[in-house]
Structure 1
């Protein structure tokens, strides 16, 4: 029995975003989904770079340790993301979620980091293969939230683990599984899973048999729900070659969508880079080349439209950079005032503080300054919360209310000290604690002069 993939990849920028930071890849041996973050100049680079490092694995079947191959490619992508962020200030904070599924014969290796999701349909039953690396999922694991509460929690997009967002090693969730003819896999970004119900996803995966139509329908459902985020779905069916109609054969031409469709063939470090090797994947069969040559007028028009939107995005990035330069020169006062409507949470000395502005610097100029310092000691927080706080946590809407909500979520993680009775019968203050300026007796703060999958990695992927 010879198994192979019949696959499709679809992506849409959504109704509220100007840049598609998602990337998807589907090939005969490899499926990849990456949801980038880091602002308009970083998220699309991060997700497409991840695709470039993994795409060379989509060659002949691998007889060795498939998880080791994925692990090595992911480590290389992580290293390059860190190097780019350090050498280019515009890419500070870039990162990406990642799901990679590598097939060899009847085995599948799956690796995952972030809040993008993978689903399996087998014998009419849909199961989720990944666990979100998010703050609210951690609360679910602790028993402090139910799954239903987590789906609508205001901080459900605060991600604890992504690729490229820190200097530490990459911690992947990994698994190996046996494939069966009839299996169907879905890899999707949170632009699908956050806005299309689990019941609708399952029903669509079961009822629509063609992978391309199924992926199209999932994207359509997300758009009907408002499409506030980038939307990407990769669907792949495991098929038995002997069961296909005479003369029929699944395509072996990879489908690349989203940001990677623009970037995946561009060199990263040199002509021998993973991105360059990705461009030299297994050559398509003659019948595939003939099919490509006979593309309809509608497909040609869609390609022209995509290129036009790409040029517009590049112009938008150039204008954004110009606005920042004018800000430094004193002529961008409007832009500076906008940054002061944004808030995020980060350490201020030993304590957690709400900052006004954005967590970025342009040369020696910091665009965020402390707005209010709480009485929450950073050292009292769990390790995972300290790690996220070190890189700043930005609410999805950048509002003060959202930042205060993050502070309250952090406060819930601090163990409550046992009061020590004083001679007068009242509790003694905790040594070293400072009054919380948010209390009614504290003086009013003086307002100082994407970031948001980025956007900050704490925001949506």
Structure 2
């Protein structure tokens, strides 16, 4: 029985620039990847799909999410065409999770795509967004805080950990681990989780059922919620749902 599933809806965008990939290494380590391409063009769509596959392979073969993401991040960052202040190459928010036999779940990210774990009926977020809202949180004077759509780190950037930390207070890549067993993993692009968050919805009820129907229901509901508000705009909505058995 397949233990994971993905689902996507294009929303109101011209291109579907989210991408997902899953890869299992000979060691048994499996990487789950979700990328959210920044922009809407054929080039960004194609680059994001290739980058997702590359990241899944790198993370699974290393058996660790952060090691895989750093390897791919550094490879893109070193490319000559990405050097200098006027470089305009494709970029994407990225989140990767690796489940390896006998090891805790590892998660790494750059950007605002998220990872959650559903265990004991509650969804727990594992990631922290790399955007201006994190840099400038909401206050009484500015209740919206910084613009959440302005990303402070992403795959394809040439900035180092120290450079990003100097301007945004967090490194270019962050990571987390979880010892949770018998849990459900959710990876989600901002177009999938923001409508729920903005509407004050608990994610847990939308993650019930086998992975395929749950994933399709999650993105369809996200797009419906986004289109129901004033000044509606539904972004690309993509999720990956996986049932994990960790020890």
Query: Under TM normalisation by the shorter chain, which class is it?
Result: 0.7 to 0.9
Deviation per residue, 1:297-332 (Å, 9 max, x gap): xxxxxxxxxxxxxxxxxxxxxxxxxxxxxxxxxxxx
**Deviation of the 1:188 alpha carbon:** 0.5
How many corresponding residue pairs? 220
Q: CA deviation at 1:145?
A: 6.1
Greater Cα radius of gyration, structure 1 or 2: 1
Kept in 1, the 8 Å contact 2:31–2:57? The answer is no
TM-score, normalised via structure 1 length:
0.43
Q: Under a length normalisation based on structure 2, what TM-score does the superposition of the two structures give?
A: 0.76
2:97 to 85, 96, 101: 101
1:223 deviation in Å?
2.0
- C-alpha displacement of 1:59: 5.6
Whether 2:185 is the aligned partner of 1:185: answer: yes
Give 1:60 shift.
7.0
Matches within 5 A, 1:263-342: none
Q: How far off its partner does 1:27 sit?
A: 4.5
61 and 180 in structure 1: CA distance in 2 versus 1, 3 angstrom threshold: farther
Aligned partner of 1:168 in structure 2 is 159
Name stretches of at least 5 consecutive residues in structure 2 with no aligned partner: 25-29, 162-171, 228-232
Question: 1:70 matched to which residue of 2?
Answer: 69
Counterpart position of 1:236: 242
8 A Cα contact 1:5 1:237, kept in partner = no
- Residue 131 (structure 2) pairs with residue 134 (structure 1): yes
Query: 1:119 maps to which residue?
Result: 116
Change (3 A) 1:57 1:179: farther
Higher relative contact order (CA 8 A, sep 6+): 2
**2:150, 2:65 → 1: CA distance?**
30
- Give 3-state SS (helix, strand or coil) of 2:74's partner: helix
SS at match of 1:224: helix
**CA–CA separation in structure 1 for the residues paired with 2:17 and 2:78:** 19
SS at match of 2:203: helix
Contact 2:33 2:95 in 1 (8 A): yes
With 119-128 and 4-13 compared, the bigger mean Cα shift is at: 4-13
Structure-2 residue corresponding to 1:412: none
User: Are the structure 2 counterparts of residues 111 and 35 from structure 1 closer, same or farther at C-alpha, using a change threshold of 3 Å?
Assistant: same
Partner of 1:199: 201
**Cα gap change, 1:60 to 1:158, in 2 (>3 Å):** closer
After superposition, give the CA deviation of every residue in 1:133-153 in whole Å (9 maximum; x if it has no partner): 11122222xx6369x944xx6
Alpha-carbon offset, residue 158 of structure 1: 1.3
Deviation of 1:161 after TM superposition, in Å, equals 1.4
The verdict on how the C-alpha distance between 1:174 and 1:58 changes in structure 2, with shifts beyond 3 A counting, is closer
* CA gap 1:154/1:59 in 2 versus in 1, 3 angstroms: closer
Q: Distance in 2 between matches of 1:42 and 1:92?
A: 12
Deviation at 1:209, TM superposition (A): 2.1
The Cα RMSD (Å) is 3.0
- Consecutive unaligned residues of structure 1, counting only runs of 5 or more, are 241-461
Q: 1:144 aligns with which of 139, 144, 162?
A: 139
> What is the CA-CA distance between 1:238 and the residue it aligns to?
1.2
Matched residue, 1:323: none
